[in-house]
Each structure stands twice: as structure tokens, then as C-alpha cells.
Amino acid sequence: MTGIEIYKYLPKTNCKKCGFPTCLAFAMKVAQKQAEISLCPELSPESRQFLEEASRPPIKLVSIGRDKKIETGNETVLFRHEKTFYHQPGLVIRIKDTESPGDAARRIREVSSYSVQRVGLDLTLDGFALDNESGNPASFLRLVETAVNNTDMPLVLMSPDTATMKLALDKTAQNRPLIYSATRDNWQDMAQLALDYHCPLAVSERESPGNLAELTERVIQMGVEDIITDPGADSFGNSVDLLTQLRRLAINKRCRPLGYPSITFPGDHASGPEDEALLAAQQIAKYAGIIVLDHFYPGIVYPLLTLRLNIYTDPQKPVKVAAGIYPINDPGNSDPLLVTTDFSLTYFSVAGEIQSCGFPSWLLICDTGGLSVLTAWAAGKFNAREIAKTAKQFGVNDYVNHNALVIPGYVAVIKGALEEEMAGWKILVGPREAMDIGNYLKRTWRENVL
């Protein structure tokens, strides 16, 4: 709704109780999703109900797990460049109850402890889908117990049998697992379990989006609120087609029964781990909410986590590190001093290269608002004046005794101006690419300064 449309439902008394000077100002903020409708205490119950329903995100936020959570949904746009994507899809590993308990426990521990660092963030997987493939309740319960004893990550419980599901929920409901799934054969019983145990429910109907909407509507009418849809996205063409249809229907047509995140199983028809990973990558981009992987290989999982990070990083908020002076490899006061910008990718590329070459150095970081070197220079945020100001602000003279500063090769043009700004300092032009820093420090630094 636009601000003007929202304004029509407000009391128009300008009483300021919402914290805004006028009802119109409040309406504009609500339209921009910067204020909640609940802040106005003067609304009539009818207006409140109407506005709350109208301002609900077209795709509901659904949370799985208790302490560690997968939060998925709450998306408002079809394309990331329109605004941003808010909740990255959960990547979970499927464990089947046909595996031996020892193998299952080992895999669960291995996945739970998997973590890689990128741009200062710890990237991890998000949980497990426990599959009652054997159809045997005892095997499934053994697997559930193994999972509970070896991980605190969120769980998806997969069994078509409601009696088996109930037994599994008795052991896990306090951690709010996802119940997979309500089908046209068992939806009433599964929905009742979701209500009794306060757990989210997956609704599986793979014939068509229309049938899926019908089944979801029935589950909603029983009172289930947290729903994940399973439309059967199982091949490259079918997946992009189905998931895009659901996203369009939810966002453009406000189709409430389809306004939920979706679960996918890219390994179901894959010819191998690589094929599965390719489909998972497509589903990260368009538009899965939870992706269940059958294979866990760090070499495959790492690119998926990186892709997900890139797509779900808000393009309007660059990831950056704090300005300051950073010691790398335990430097002393005769060791090199380099300068670069606070864009995370820039910082971690430069710091990583210095670290791996083993040369002790100081790295001065300028506040450029999270811009890379050339962009910051073009924007006037990484010029001679700003670098000199940062050097003074962080007292570089307290750290080095040689009065030499290495600037990135891409801004060689500011060398003269920086020598004027930092009188008595020798400005050295370093390499353009971070990967050449090691060689530069080992060869050129000594020649120029020592």
C-alpha cells in the first residue's frame, strides 16, 4: 500500500502518540516499512486488522529450530536489485535412517562442526533433514535420537506416517522441527500434529501450484500459520518455472495460500553430487527457502555458501571492517605500513595475502563507507587528504619509525599529493592486485626503505 492509501485508514488527529509529527508522516514511514502499524494506539479495531493484513509481507517469515534457527521467507521483491533479499535459504543435509547409526552420528558431527571464514564471516550449514526412508518407526526414532545427541542444529522430520511422526515429535518438539509433510492423504492428521506440538509444517502437493494452493488453504483453515510449501521443484527447468511462478503469485498477485517459503530436494533426480550442487545453486538464486542436500563435500558446499552470501548480502549496505591500524604477523616498528579501504573483500584480500606471505606488516584502514579502492578514490573518499587524516587519527608514528607508507597501485596518481599532505613521509606505490603483495614486500620494500 502507498502512504496515501494507508493515511485514509488513520484517525488524522496528528496526536503524535506514534512518535511521528503527523498521521501522514507516520503513513509514509509504514509504507516504506520503517514503522509498524501497531505504533498507532488510536486506530479502530477494523482499521488495525485491515492495515495489519495489508502490510503483512507477501511471503511469510517462517522459523525452524529454537536456539539455532533457520529463518526463511519475508521476501518482498522478485529481483534483488529492486531492494534486497532478506532471509537466505537454509542449506540442510539429509540423513537417511537406512544409514548405520555410527555413520549417521559421524556425518552429523562432521556437518555440525563444518565452518569456513569469508570476509570475516563464519559460513556454516544450517541443519539436517532426517528421512524415514526405511518406513520402519524404530529405525527413524533411532536416527532422531542420534541427531538429538549429536547436534543442536534445526531438524526437518521426514516421514509420511503420522504415528511415526508423533513419536519423533515427542523427542524433538521442544526444538521446533519442521514436520515434512502434509499431503492430500494425511493433511488433517499432520496439521493437527503441527498445532498440538507448535511446529511448522511442510505442505507437499506436486501436481500443480493450483492444487498446492488448495491444500495449503485447507491447512491454514485448520489454524496452522507456519507453513513451508513443497511444489516438487525437481529439475532445472521445472524448478525455475515452479519457484518463479510461486514467487510471482505471492508478490504480484498477493496469493496468500502460496505466500510461504518453499522446500526443495535437488538430489532427488540428480546424476551425482555435481549435478545436485548445480541445481542447488540455481535454487539459491531462484527461489528456494530450504534446500535439502544429499551430499556433503566441503569442496561443493563452500561455493554454495559463498554464492548464497553474495546473493543475500544487501547491495545497499556494503560489508565493511572498522577503520584503524591492524597488525599482521606480529610486526615491529621497522616493518612495512600499507594502506587500503574498509571494504571487507578488499581488507580480507590484502590482509590474507600479507598473512600468507609471512611478512610482518601494519595495515592502515581508511573509512570509505565500505567502498573498494578505485570506487572510493573516484568518490573522493580515498584521496591524499583522507589518507593523511586517517594516518594522523590513528597515530601511525607510534607504530613505525621509517616514515614510509605503501599505497595501492590503483591510486598511484595520488602519490605526489600524499607526499605534500604527509610532509617527511616517503610514499611508495604498491602492486595493483592483492596477490602480488607478498612478492612486493619481500623484494621491493627492502630495496626502497632499508
- CB of residue 286 to ligand SF4, shortest distance in Å: 38
Residues paired with 62 in a beta bridge: 72
Report DSSP state, residue 343: B
- Judged by CB under 6 A, the residue of 4, 5, 8, 13 near ligand SF4 is 13
- Judged by CB under 6 A, the residue of 42, 133, 189, 241 near ligand SF4 is 42
- CB of residue 25 to ligand SF4, shortest distance in Å: 8
Q: In this complex, which beta carbon is closest to ligand SF4, that of residue 44 or of residue 439?
A: 44
Q: How far apart are CA 281 and CA 308, in angstroms?
A: 8
The CA R_g of the chain, rounded to the nearest whole Å, is 27
How would you label 64-79 residue by residue, b for 16+ Cβ within 10 Å and e otherwise? bbeeebbbbbbbeeee
Q: How far apart are CA 24 and CA 415, in angstroms?
A: 52
- Judged by CB under 6 A, the residue of 26, 260, 348, 359 near ligand SF4 is 26
Q: Binding to ligand SF4 by residue 84, rule CB under 6 A?
A: no
Q: Binding to ligand SF4 by residue 20, rule CB under 6 A?
A: yes
Residues paired with 179 in a beta bridge: 157, 201
Spell out the residues 6+ positions from residue 325 whose beta carbon is closer than 8 angstroms to its own. Answer: 362, 363, 364, 365, 394, 396, 399
Q: Binding to ligand SF4 by residue 7, rule CB under 6 A?
A: no
Report DSSP state, residue 434: G
- CB of residue 13 to ligand SF4, shortest distance in Å: 5
179-198: which residues touch ligand SF4 (CB under 6 A)? none
End-to-end CA distance of the chain: 66
Q: In this complex, which beta carbon is closest to ligand SF4, that of residue 4 or of residue 138?
A: 4
Q: In this complex, which beta carbon is closest to ligand SF4, that of residue 11 or of residue 324?
A: 11
Q: Binding to ligand SF4 by residue 40, rule CB under 6 A?
A: yes
Q: In this complex, which beta carbon is closest to ligand SF4, that of residue 4 or of residue 435?
A: 4
Q: Under rule CB under 6 A, how many of the chain's residues touch ligand SF4? A: 13
Given the rule CB under 6 A, which of 9-17, 143-151, 419-427, 431-439 is the region that contacts ligand SF4? Answer: 9-17
Q: What angle do CA 279, 282, 285 make, to 5 degrees?
A: 150
H-only helix segments in 252-358 = 273-285, 298-311, 344-357
Q: How far apart are CA 376 and CA 386, in angstroms?
A: 11
- CB of residue 14 to ligand SF4, shortest distance in Å: 5
Binding footprint of ligand SF4 on the chain (CB under 6 A):
10-11, 13-18, 20, 23, 26, 40, 42
